[in-house]
Amino acid sequence: MKDSQPIQLAFHWEAEVKPRGLGARVDSLPARPPIERPMFGENLMEEMCERGNMRAALQQVRANQGSPGIDDMRVDELPAFLKTHWLTMKEQLLQGRYHPQAIKRVEIPKPGSQEKRKLGIPCVIDRLIQQAMLQVLQWRWDPTFSAFSYGFRPGRSAHQAVAQAQAYLEQGYSYVVDIDLEKFFDRVCHDRLMSRLAQRITEKRVLKLIRAFLRAGILENGLMTIPTEGTPQGSPLSPFLSNVVLDELDKELEGRGHRFCRYADDSNLYVRSARAGARVLASISCFITQRLKLKVNWSKSTVDRPWKRSFLGFSFTGGKRPKRRKIAPKALARFKARVKALTRRNQGRSLGHVITTLSAYLRGWIGYFEFCQTPAVLRDLDSWIRHRLRCLQWKHWKVYRRRKAELLKRGIPQALAHTTAWSAKGPWKISHTPGVRMALNNHFFDQMGLIRLSAHHNM
C-alpha cells in the first residue's frame, strides 16, 4: 500500500469524532495556548482509540518505517493485522488489560565516539499504540512546557535552539555552562516520572498503560530483563516522556532567572563570567542529582566560551565581531569521514554511481547545516569534494593511452594532454594540475548531478 493512497481499514469504528489537530503529523501540530487547569479528564483512552486518532497514528508509524520488533512484524504488515485484530486490541485497551510485548535491544555507534548507544525497538503494534497516546497527550501538555525547550516539540527545531543561543551571546552572555546528563534515557526514574504524570492525568488506564510500556521486558542477546529505570530510545512516546521529566529542570532554571536552551537532554546555560558559570554548574548539578535523581557527566560538563564548545552540531565564531553560527569541528570531521568513505578509489564503482550516492548524502546534510553563517567553509568543502572525485576518475582511467584520449575528448590541447597523462604524480597531486581541472571542471560535475553545498546556503 502506497503512502500516497488513503488507508482503508475494515475496522468497526464508532461514529467518527476527529480529535483536534490529529489530521496532520504530530510534529507539525500548532502550539495551543496554555490552559488554566491542566488536569486531563477520564476519557483519554476512548479518545486515544477513536477512529481519526488511530488513522493518524497509523499514517505516522508507516511514514517513520523502522525495524521490526521481537515479533518480526514489518510496518507494511500492520494494516492487514489491524483488520483482523483491532477490535480485540481496542477492547483490551478500554478495559485496561493491554500488555505490551518485550522490546528488542540493539546498539548503534555514537557519532565521534567509540561508545555504543542502546536503542529499544518496540514491535510495530506497540509503536502504533504509543503514537496514538502521544497524539492525545502532546497537544494538551506541550503549551505548559518552557519556551526555551526545543526538542521533540511541535513547531520547534534544533535551529531555533541554536538561534536562541546566538541571541544570548549578542546580549553579552559570553560564557556557556554546558551540562551533559550521563545516559539520561537509561536513568530516568520511573516513580518520579509516573508521579509527574499523575499530577496531570486522572485517567488510571492511561497511567497503567504508560507504566506497562516503561516496564516492558528488554530482550538482549537472548536474555530478558525487566527495567526498573529508563525510557527506551526508539519508542514514539520516549521523547515526550523525556520532556516531562526535564520540564522540572526547565521550571527551576526559569525560576532562578537563568538564560538557557534545552534540546532533549542537551542543556546550555549562558552567563556573563566564568565565576558565575562555576556557581551555576555546581548549583544546578546538585538539583539534577538530588531532585531529579539523574547523573551529571562531569567529563563532558564544563564552563567555557561558546566558540570552544558545540551545540547541536553548531558552534560560533570568536572575537569581538558579532558572533556567527558555524559548523562545529566534530560535525565537519564526521562529514569528511563519511565523504571519504563514499568516494574511496578502490570500490570499483563508476563515477556516476558514486556521485548519485554522494549527492543523496550531501542533500540531507546541507538540509540541516545550511543554517550556518560561514559560506566560505561550504565553498571549501565543495572544492575538496570535487578534488576527491577527480582523483577517483583519474584512477579509473588507469593507463596513459586512456588518460590522454579522455583529456583530448574533453578539449584539452594535445601537448597538455600528453604531459598530464604521462605524469608520474599520484592521483591526489595530478588532480590539482590544469589538465585534469580543465577536463573535469565544475560544469562537468554539475552536469553529472553533484550537489553544490554552497549553492544551497542562505545567509
Residue type, 16: E
Dihedral, CA atoms, 6, 8, 11, 17, nearest 10 degrees? Answer: 30
Which residue, chain included where needed, has cell 514514539? Answer: 236
Question: What is the pLDDT tens value at each position of the chain, 459 positions in all?
Answer: 344 444 444 444 333 333 333 333 333 333 444 443 445 667 899 999 999 999 999 999 999 888 899 999 999 999 999 999 999 999 999 999 999 999 998 888 777 666 777 888 999 999 999 999 999 999 889 999 999 999 999 999 999 999 999 999 999 999 999 999 998 988 899 999 999 999 999 899 999 999 999 999 888 888 888 888 888 888 999 999 999 999 999 999 999 999 999 999 999 999 999 999 999 999 999 999 999 999 999 999 999 999 999 999 999 998 777 789 999 999 999 999 999 999 998 888 899 999 999 999 999 999 999 999 999 999 999 999 999 999 999 999 999 999 999 999 999 999 999 999 999 999 899 999 999 999 999 999 999 999 999 987 655
Bridge partners for 119 per DSSP: 106
Element (H or E) spanning 90, and its range? helix 78-94
Report the b/e string of 64-82 with b at 16+ CB within 10 A: eeeeebbeeeebeebeeeb
**HSE-CB of 306 using CA atoms within 13 angstroms:** 37
Bridge partners for 121 per DSSP: 104
Say how far apart CA 236 and CA 255 lie, in whole Å. 30
Spell out the residues 6+ positions from residue 455 whose beta carbon is closer than 8 angstroms to its own: none
Helices (H), 256-303: 274-290
C-alpha cell at 70: 521481537
Say how far apart CA 10 and CA 53 lie, in whole Å. 16
Helices (H) and strands (E) in the chain — how many of each?
18, 10
> What is the value of pTM for the model shown?
0.85
C-alpha cell at 76: 507494511
Q: Which of 163, 167, 145, 166 is nearest to 154 (CA)?
A: 145
Task: Give the pLDDT score at 458.
Answer: 59
259-263 vs 103-109, strand pairing mode: unpaired
Task: Give the pLDDT score at 219.
Answer: 86
Backbone angles phi, psi at 437, to 5 degrees: -65, -35
CA separation (Å) from 263 to 150, 239, 319, 377, 403? 5, 11, 26, 26, 52
